[in-house]
Chain A
Amino acid sequence: MLLALAAVPVLIAVAIRLTDDGQGGGGGPAFLDRITQNGLFVGVTALVVAIPLFLPLTVGVVAGDSVAGEAGTGTLRYLLVSPVGRIRLLVVKFAAAAVFCLAATLTVSVAGILIGLALFPVGPVALVSGDTVSVGESLLRSLLIALYITLGLLGLAAIGLFISTLTDAPVGAMAATVVVSIVAQVVGQLSQLEWLHPWLFTYHWLDFADLLRQPIEWSSFGANAVLQLAYVAVFGALAYGRFATKDILS
């Protein structure tokens, strides 16, 4: 799955390299037309492309599979036969999903930067504020962005974990988790439901650009962290309620 994620920036970079006609064509996702000037933008562009679908998809697969997968293959009860508390099992499963979130974002970002280095010129990076920062600082900011997006995916991972405790069919849990993330993004586009938007776990996903401003706008980082922690708390508690009372038959 990480390989598939790494393919996203590679595809973008190769496609742009092949079709580059020397002038920035309009349209496409944000930052796309800057790649030819600076390869370091490949990582950011790939994240913009990957956030709506690819990242939630893979996180949904991992989180949805976490408990239901064990149940589906009949290994869950063996896990619980050994003296391991159910809370601890849940915490470990969530930690694994969180590590995957980080690995997934870092994969996209690092693969993007590497392919950018290989195919395009690299130099000081222009931020969205119009200021220019050095390569080193831009790499630091790329790391911050990866952390930001990882944080943003934690809420979805918690939802996936909860759904995963509901069923013994891993495919169902994965699909439901991915559907939840897509529904949340669709709702986020409807201006009629604007009052609901700040409560959606997808609300701050694209605000990672605040880390590309000069000076960095930290408020969205904090707001994102609080929101995701609330989701983790709520769905973690629900998952515990369900998992601790569940009769493990498989």
Chain B
Amino acid sequence: MNRTWHRWIPAVAVPAVVVVVAVTGGVAATASADLPERSPQEVLALVGASEVEAFSGTLEQSSDLGLPDVSALSSGSGSSDDSGAAVSSALELATGSHTARIYADGPERLRVQVLDTLAERDAVRNGDDLWFYDSDEQTAVHATLPSRGDGATPGDSPPGTDGAVPTPDEMASRFLESVDPSTDVSLGSEQTVAGRDAYSLVLTPRTDDTLVGSVTIAVDAETGMPLEVQVFARGSAAAAFEVGFSELSLDTPSADLFDFAPPAGTEVTEKDLADRFDGDGDGGAGPGADASDAAGHQGSEPTVTGEGWGSIVETSLGGDLTEITSNPLFSQLATPVEGGSVLQTALVSVLLTDDGRLLAGAVPAELLQQAAAAE
């Protein structure tokens, strides 16, 4: 009997070892780094001095905005309606989780691949050529930039050298001064992102009128490149929106990656640039892309009221609202309130009034209603 007992030892030991490895493997990855002490200003200067132009990496984006999962709906809402499809694909990018690979070689050459199950969406910029490719729909959009354009440069790359460029230190202190009335900038604990040691800048709004609790930016200690952005809703310990590198290499990616030609059998649309740039292709790329950008893109010139974190963007949609309100997505997401409908997420509220105005901001919905009523 004793020998029988012995033979069960591996059956107990091996699963135990596997579990231990699985658990400690996760802990080891988040072990904190040992970096020289810096002030927030020095870290900001580091960001300003960042000269990373060529890199390739994998971005992980996840968001928990409190919206229902629309991935099932978006495929059903039909590709016949172009604007509906654009809205649902923007929503799909803003909710849920995505993995994207990003390749950059200077500001002029960029490729972003959003990896879906058994499919992929690509955005490629090579000089003046812009391509958007969707392997699931087998469609491609091609556009040519006017000779100088900057629409597709990623938020990560340093600003172009136009005119007198202030030194990173000046920029950092200027930025700190300008944000200080509304925002407290401090340094959080050091962290490791994509295997690189990073400082974390914590921006905390000073006002209570916003849904945003804090924003954390991980800054690579070596190059000053932002590696991760996390946005926390007020009173929440888990990030509501998060985008960051899970892998990063500073080698120049292979040049033929930027040399894109759609495969045979693809439906290619040539687009005029005037009505492009509505966040369709850059959703996976721009960590700073905010829902309020997407909300304001089709109305007549938006007005901004309020200051800092509590500011509210207002725009008049005009035209026929039934096209929007009859969309099944709309009734799924929005809740009717007095004088309109509210789309409430963890970070952003959007109010569509019955008289065709759209108000959006990182504020509670009541403030939007007050602002709408004040007019």
Contact = CB atoms under 8 A, between A and B. Distances in A.
A128 B247 CA distance: 21
Given A126-B264, A129-B122, A217-B115, A245 B8 contact: yes
A201 to B, nearest CB: 13
A4 interface: no
Interface in B146-195: none
Interface stretch (B33-41, B199-207, B253-261, B302-310): B253-261
A214 B7 contact: no
Interface in A118-132: 123, 126-132
A215 to B, nearest CB: 7
A99 interface: no
Contacts of B136: 30
B120 A213 contact: yes
Max chain B C-beta neighbours (<10 A), residue from A123, A210, A245: A245
B15 interface: yes
A237 B15 contact: yes
B135 interface: yes
Nearest to B256: A131
Interface residues of A, number: 36
Contact of B138 (A33, A131, A237): A33
Contacts of A126: 263-266
B4 A237 contact: no
A234 B18 CA distance: 7
Contacts of A210: 115
B245 to A, nearest CB: 13
Given A33-B138, A209-B118, A214-B257, A130 B263 contact: yes
Contacts, number: 93
A131 B247 contact: no
Contact of B119 (A30, A33, A241, A242): A30
Contacts of A31: 118
B259 to A, nearest CB: 9
Contact of B101 (A24, A206, A207, A217): A217
A42 B261 CA distance: 24
A237 B14 CA distance: 6
Contacts of B9: 241
B232 interface: no
A213 B118 contact: no
Contacts of B261: 132
Secondary structure class of chain A's binding surface, majority of residues: helix
Given A30-B119, A130-B135, A245-B7, A37 B15 contact: no
Given A130-B135, A132-B261, A213-B113, A240 B118 contact: no
B344 interface: no
B58 interface: yes
Contact of B117 (A24, A127, A129, A209): A209
B209 interface: no
Contacts of B241: none
A206 B118 contact: yes
B150 to A, nearest CB: 24
B10 interface: yes
A129 B113 contact: yes
Given A128-B135, A130-B133, A238 B15 contact: yes
A244 B5 CA distance: 10
A51 to B, nearest CB: 11
B15 A130 contact: no
Given A130-B135, A209-B119, A245 B15 contact: no
Given A129-B133, A130-B260, 18 more contacts: A31-B118, A33-B138, A34-B138, A48-B118, A126-B264, A128-B118, A129-B122, A130-B120, A130-B131, A191-B69, A206-B117, A213-B101, A213-B120, A215-B254, A219-B247, A238-B15, A241-B11, A244-B7
22 contacts: A24-B138, A24-B265, A31-B118, A37-B264, A126-B265, A128-B118, A128-B119, A128-B135, A129-B113, A130-B120, A130-B260, A132-B261, A207-B117, A213-B113, A213-B120, A214-B257, A236-B14, A241-B7, A241-B9, A242-B11, A244-B7, A245-B4
- What 7 pairs between A and B have smallest CB-CB spacing? A241-B11, A126-B263, A237-B14, A244-B7, A30-B118, A130-B133, A128-B135
Interface of A: 24, 30-31, 33-34, 37, 48, 123, 126-132, 191, 206-207, 209-210, 213-215, 217, 219, 230, 233-234, 236-238, 240-242, 244-245
